[in-house]
Amino acid sequence: MPSVPNATEIEAAARLLRAGRLVAFPTETVYGLGANALDPEAVARIYAVKGRPPTSPLIVHVACIEMAQSLVKSWPEVANQFARRFWPGPLTIVLEKQPTIPSIVTAGLGTVGLRVPAHPMALALIKAAGVPLAAPSANRFTQLSPTTADHVRRSLGSDVDLILDGGPCQVGIESTVLSLVGPRPVLLRPGGISRSELEAAIGPVVTAVEATNGSHPSPGMHPRHYSPRTRLLLVKNGEVPDQGNGIYLQYKHPPVRAGIAIVEMPSAPAEYAAALYDKLHEADAAGHDWIAVDDPPETPDWEAIRDRLLRASD
């Protein structure tokens, strides 16, 4: 279970955030690199530290529905339904923003993504800071997302003012991003809430057409993302490369080639997602020539995992 927040540590982190500094903190999905979402200079520091392009908007983390409502122009009943069903949790809701949200947070768009994280340390931090927190994943842009505090340290080092250690993330992949701006809900990014869960709650959702230029309506929509430094290959039927020193993240098929390192992956999608980034971090640090991963099923429950692996692979 997630670590219980330490009040002294939380208050120190909150003071840093109110002063325009950066704090990495755990959520149930991945670790976030947080700044005061109402302070454009602090948010600019997130982009600089990550090397993130200005076309990629940030998700704003809030402590409750009421805080979310204060940041948007309107709060439709469908937003209420989703928030009451899935918050706190790995669902980001996109709505038209209030002018109080700086344009740098939203990549110049008139919409903002909001969510209430399901982690006691994240919630305690937002409440103590008294401000919404803009927080993308706490890593360099396009690299593997962090699911432990140590992943953050190895990626960002001294570029972050404080790292709160809340233990391993429980969900392990980023939040689902759902736009409620138009007449029908639009799935911008698959994530910790599956399409099946969304549709069971509200009915069919539309899949977004990805932008080829300009600002993206959601984070995580760049073609290359979530990538280890080591070459990552999706393979079918255990057909790993016949050359080089590799490692195989296997959940379905035995490798056709003997003598390679194997990491057994869970067969259920939720458990697989929770383990994925951590196993990729371990494989990436081991000095292999390549990492092979079984091509995941093309089903709704595996959609988010498949999205991450397709963007990370050659």
Domain-located, residue 172: yes
Average pLDDT over residues 148-155: 96
Q: How confident is the model at residue 298 (pLDDT cuts 50, 70, 90)?
A: very high
Domain-located, residue 213: no
Which pLDDT belongs to residue 212? 47
Q: Strand 111-115 to strand 59-61: parallel, antiparallel, or no bridges (unpaired)?
A: parallel
Domain-located, residue 49: yes
Integer Cα distance of 261 and 231 in angstroms? 15
Average pLDDT over residues 154-165: 95
Domain-located, residue 215: no
Same domain, 118 and 51: yes
Integer Cα distance of 7 and 26 in angstroms? 15
How many CB atoms are located within 10 Å of the residue 286 CB?
A: 12
Q: What is the pLDDT of residues 248-285, one digit of tens each?
A: 999 988 888 888 899 999 999 999 999 999 999 999 99
Q: What is the largest CA-CA distance in the chain?
A: 59
Please check the confidence at residue 219 and state whether its pLDDT lies above 70. no
Domain-located, residue 132: yes
Q: Is 51 exposed, middle or buried (0-12, 13-18, 19+ CB in 10 A)?
A: exposed
Mean pLDDT over each residue of the chain, to the nearest integer: 92
Domain-located, residue 221: no
Q: How confident is the model at residue 220 (pLDDT cuts 50, 70, 90)?
A: low
Average pLDDT over residues 127-149: 96
Integer Cα distance of 78 and 44 in angstroms? 32
Which pLDDT belongs to residue 203? 86
Q: Identify which of 111, 110, 164 has the alpha carbon closest to the alpha carbon of residue 138.
A: 164
Please check the confidence at residue 211 and state whether its pLDDT lies above 60. no
Which pLDDT belongs to residue 202? 85
Same domain, 12 and 138: yes
Domain-located, residue 260: yes
| Both tokens assigned to 307 | 């999205």
Residue 70 three-state SS: coil
Same domain, 196 and 118: yes
Q: Is residue 177 within 8 Å of residue 92, measured between CB atoms? A: yes
The range of the structural domain enclosing residue 244 comes to 231-312
Q: What is the pLDDT of residues 71-96, one digit of tens each?
A: 999 999 999 999 999 999 999 999 99
Q: Is residue 114 within 8 Å of residue 18, measured between CB atoms? A: no
Average pLDDT over residues 282-307: 94
Q: Is residue 65 within 8 Å of residue 87, measured between CB atoms? A: yes
Total structural domains in the chain?
2
CATH number at residue 178: 3.90.870.10
Q: Identify which of 309, 298, 237, 240 has the alpha carbon closest to the alpha carbon of residue 273.
A: 309
Query: Please, which residues bridge with residue 34 across strands?
Result: 23
Which pLDDT belongs to residue 105? 98
Q: Is residue 299 within 8 Å of residue 190, measured between CB atoms? A: no
Same domain, 165 and 248: no
Q: Which residue reads 């302070």 in tokens? A: 39
Which pLDDT belongs to residue 182? 86
Same domain, 203 and 235: no
